[in-house]
A and B are shown apart, each in its own frame.
Chain A
């Protein structure tokens, strides 16, 4: 396939957005050179490839950079449309629903769980945990609607929304370990709890998702660096 040989992914091991892209590339069966970035000492290549936001992930395909994880995932699905598995459904309404929930995850779930980690007081932490649980309750509804009784958001196999949500699971586990927050209560969000286990068990997740402990170590490093009044266990 044209240009397939020249694919680089600039990433950072515990970034859920990078993990999201790695999952997408796995689904497409595309091989690439992974280049780990030090976000406290950004490389020339990163700054040149993403001058606007200076963030990872950046996919560099045939020398051309693509930024923003959800944009990269859509790009991968389109440019390698003949390869591997389809990430997006074909139906425009289903696509719109998948995009809606993916945007929701980034706007509401990510800030909530990062907020748990960064909270300076127990009250602030509890507030953020409450927010995260509201989001997960909505995602339980979304799962029921989207999956229509099948194992994944996208149906029989993982798709766009599975990747959008699933890339955050290892961080939720890390935060559970650090602060004792239960995100997936089988009593409250049974479908999501079952999906989370199923998702973590996929070959793709086992290959691409880092261990939750890696995130714990990283979080502790951040806390040490920036200082936090409440310490994790």
Chain B
């Protein structure tokens, strides 16, 4: 690691956006201080580093904060350009394609999926899932195009889109445990299913991704809390 670089990651273990940054740091071979935030009691450092959104992840590099997971990943790639593998390709067109799909993951896959997890009605839930599955189908096509026969969205090596999507794996697995639904169905989306297996075996991924059992417990507790809150508000 470059001498004199102080890297602090303000995060929360269950957040896939925090996992995303850990993945990038791990793939680049960078060491960092992993600071677990209590999101119900945010630290001074977090609030002063991200005054606009007050969210994790925040990467603090030599005292300077960088916010928003996809922006942080690109920052890591640029600030540590000489170290470890490049997370974005060098060709401008391929970089544009990678940026496009990374944005797509968050806008079209994560957003409706979160909506389905937090849904208060069956209708909301199924609409969210419908959109999620539609996005997954599109991403299967994207993987076919981007990988060019190799194993990753980044081609032979892991890139920005692999990291963006890969950060969701523990949650994808947890959803399967809780609801029985496979988001990356090996029959409908064989490339993504194979990619998920391949990615999960990488050392950098194993070190960054939270344990599925822990996520399952966390998700169940959250669901119970939401149900209790909903029931309580109905009895007022």
Of A25-33, A88-96, A112-120, A207-215, the one touching chain B = A88-96
Interchain CB contact under 8 A, A79 and B79: no
**B residues 51-102 touching A (CB-CB < 8 Å):** 52, 61, 64, 66-68, 71-72, 74-75, 78-79, 92-93, 95-97, 99-100
If over half of A's interface residues share one DSSP class (helix, strand or loop), that class is named, otherwise mixed; here it is: helix
**Taking each of B61, B92, B97, B99, which has the highest tally of chain A beta carbons within 10 Å of its own beta carbon?**
B92
- A residues 78-119 near B (Cβ < 8 Å) are 78-79, 92-93, 95-97, 99-100, 103-104
Q: From residue B113, how far is it (CB to closest CB) to chain A in Å?
A: 17
Chain A residues with Cβ below 8 Å from B93 are: 61, 64, 66, 75, 79
Summed over the interface, the residue pairs from A and B with CB atoms below 8 Å come to a total of: 56
Which residue of A52, A67, A72, A92 is within 8 Å of B138 (Cβ)? A52
Is A71 touching B96 in the complex (CB atoms < 8 A)? Answer: yes
A residues near B66, Cβ cutoff 8 Å: 93, 96-97, 100
Q: Which residues of B contact A (CB under 8 A)?
A: 52, 61, 64, 66-68, 71-72, 74-75, 78-79, 92-93, 95-97, 99-100, 103-104, 138
B71 adjacent to A68 (CB under 8 Å):
no
User: B75, A92: Cβ atoms under 8 Å?
Assistant: yes
| Complex Cα spacing A53 to B165, Å | 19
Task: Looking at the assembled complex, report how far the CB atom of A57 sits from the nearest CB atom of chain B, in whole angstroms.
Answer: 13
A99 contacts B52, CB within 8 Å? no
Which of chain B's residues has its CB closest to A68's CB? B100
Nearest 9 interchain pairs by C-beta: A78-B92, A92-B78, A79-B92, A92-B79, A75-B96, A96-B75, A96-B66, A71-B99, A66-B96
Contact (Cβ within 8 A) B99 A96: no
**Could you jot down 19 A-B contacts, CB within 8 Å?**
A52-B138, A67-B100, A68-B99, A74-B95, A75-B95, A78-B92, A79-B93, A92-B78, A92-B79, A93-B79, A95-B74, A95-B78, A96-B66, A96-B71, A96-B75, A99-B74, A100-B66, A100-B67, A103-B68
Place the interface of chain A in its size category: 20 to 34
Q: Does A138 contact B (CB under 8 A)?
A: yes
Give Cα A43 to B74, complex, Å.
34
Complex contacts, A78 vs chain B, CB 8 Å: 92, 95
User: Using a CB–CB distance below 8 Å, which chain A residues touch chain B?
Assistant: 52, 61, 64, 66-68, 71-72, 74-75, 78-79, 92-93, 95-97, 99-100, 103-104, 138
User: Most A CB atoms within 10 A — which of B64, B97, B100, B103?
Assistant: B100
